[in-house]
Amino acid sequence: MTPFRARTPPDSREWDVTVSICTYNRCSLLGQALDSVLSQALDQAQRYEVIVVDNNSTDDTKHLVDSYIAQGHTNLRYVFEGRQGLSYAREAAIAHARAPIIAFTDDDVRVAPDWVSSIKRAFDSHTEVAWVGGKVLPLWPAVVPRWMRREHWTPLALLDFGDQPFHVTASNPRCLIGANLAFRKDVLDGTKFEPSMQRVKDSIGSMEDHELLMRLLKADRQGLYAPDVVVTTDIPASRLSKEYHRRWHRGHGHFFAIGRFEDLEPSKTGRLFDVPAHMYRQAAIDTIQWLRTIVRGDLNAAFTYELRLMFFAGFVRTRYKDFSEVRTGNRLVELGRFARSVARKFLLRGFARHSGGIQR
């Protein structure tokens, strides 16, 4: 490994990797992200470029990027995207990328010194994969609440699936995170991030990454979890409140409903107001467990079940609203249809058990 010398002017050779950082009014954080990305140690002869996409910032983002370019970082470029939203900013990065691999990270993230070279090696070693992602590890504030467990990492955009690599496939649809996610560029030429899945106004969370990966999985593409591709991110104290996690899970249910991700696991019983029956069943189980853990005084476990119910509430609210806008029929008719579907399933199950008993 030899350190990248940022002041060396580019020549006619192609870039190996394009790094994209999309940012909006976070100039105070962007400098640390740029420092980590621009000080990479590379395998011999590897070359990479960095594109900062300014998503309509009103702070000193452009001045900061220009100051880094003036220092001699000739592999750094500034791109302005006036359409507000991460999906639009990422599309701008893809349009300007000049390398066959495009790696996404965020303005509040610090990448490991071998991040670029690890991504390149992963793609070179696994020619069958369309994307590569790795660990997103926390830099915690001084005080972390006692209820915070690994199971609560998702709303913090953290990820650690362990130290063994594995393929992400339709049969193993693990979601990797956009703060540490790279694609072969030709995969993205006809597959775009979906703007309807991005954060809007004061909402918490988004699902552009998840939605895109689900579409690729449905198209029989596969990815790779590479544990040696590592980034770290500061965790703001504001994200360590229970109310933040409640809001995030409600929002996650909303986006999950829009993306129709449950279609990968279709219900065999039917739907009520376009919500699969198995989700009602799981919500009933979670409600019972929530009550039991409260009675036992295990408030940490109770919070986990509460968050599952927050997800369900966000999902049902969105599906019911969409259902009501499309179908104006009597709600009692919908309930009756669902009840008949459930009764038919249980009757068929009982008949199958009875028939099996006779055969024996």
352 domain-assigned: yes
Say whether pTM exceeds 0.85: no
Amino acid found at 75: N
For residue 159, the domain's CATH number is 3.90.550.10
Q: Look at residue 242 and tell me if it is in a domain.
A: no
pLDDT tens per residue across span 266-280: 556 678 888 888 899
**Do residues 230 and 159 both lie within one domain?**
yes
Count of structural domains, the chain: 2
Q: Is the domain of 230 the same as that of 284? A: no
241, part of any domain: no
Q: Are residues 227 and 296 in the same domain?
A: no
Same domain? For 174 and 319 the reply is no
Tell me, yes or no, whether 9 and 60 share the same domain: yes
Residues of the chain under the 50 pLDDT cut: 1-12, 200-203, 264, 348, 351-352, 354, 357-360
Residues 73 and 120 placed together within one structural domain of the fold = yes
Cα 147 to Cα 242: distance, rounded to the nearest angstrom: 9
Query: Do 254 and 198 fall into the same domain?
Result: no
Q: Do 63 and 195 lie in a common domain?
A: yes
> Are 148 and 221 within one domain?
yes
* Residue 196 domain flag: yes
Do residues 26 and 81 share a domain? yes
Query: Which of 174, 209, 236 is the last residue before a domain boundary?
Result: 236
Rounded distance, CA 156 to CA 316, Å?
24
- For 275, the domain range is 247-359
Q: Are residues 199 and 253 in the same domain?
A: no
Whole-number pLDDT of residue 153: 93
